[in-house]
Amino acid sequence: MTTCYAESIRTTSACHHSQASPEQNNATDRQDVKREYDFSNAVRGKFFRKEAELNFPIYVDGRMHKRLERLAKKKGTPVTDLVNQLLKRDLELLESLS
C-alpha cells in the first residue's frame, strides 16, 4: 500500500491571509490532515490537461494592495490587468538593461 504521511503534506488553506504566526497556521493546517493517505488506487495524471493555463496567486502587502486598487479604479481597469501591465513594463525595462 502506498501511503503519504501528514508531516510531509503542506496544505494551502486560508492561512495565507491570516494574521496568525506561522506556528499557529501550521497547527491549524494539521487539524484537517490525516495521519496517512492511501494512494494505492490512484491514477497518475488523471486530471492533467496539457493545454490548461495556470494562473497562480500573487500576494502583496496590505498597503500595496490598497494602492493598486486605487490606481486601478482611477484607470478604470481591473487590478489584475493593472498588475500585469506594471510587471510587463518592469520586465521589459530590466531586460533592456541587461
Would 49 be classed as within a structural domain?
Answer: no
Would 51 be classed as within a structural domain?
Answer: no
pLDDT digits (tens, 9 = 90+) for 18-51: 455 656 556 556 778 889 999 999 999 999 999 9
The stretch 64-90 carries a mean pLDDT of 96
- Work out the mean pLDDT of the chain and round it to a whole number: 79
Instruction: Tally the domains of the chain.
Output: 2
The stretch 47-60 carries a mean pLDDT of 89
Q: Are residues 93 and 64 in the same domain?
A: yes
Q: Which residues does 38 contact at the CB level (< 8 Å), separation at least 6? A: 1, 2, 3
CA–CA gap between residue 11 and residue 93 (Å, rounded)? 36
CA–CA gap between residue 75 and residue 9 (Å, rounded)? 42
Please give the residue range of the domain that contains residue 39.
1-44
What values do phi and psi take at 58, rounded to 5? Answer: -120, 125
Would 50 be classed as within a structural domain?
Answer: no
Would 53 be classed as within a structural domain?
Answer: no
Q: Are residues 69 and 40 in the same domain?
A: no
Q: Are residues 66 and 90 in the same domain?
A: yes
Residue pair 3/39 in contact (Cβ under 8 Å)? The answer is: yes
What values do phi and psi take at 12, rounded to 5? Answer: -115, 85
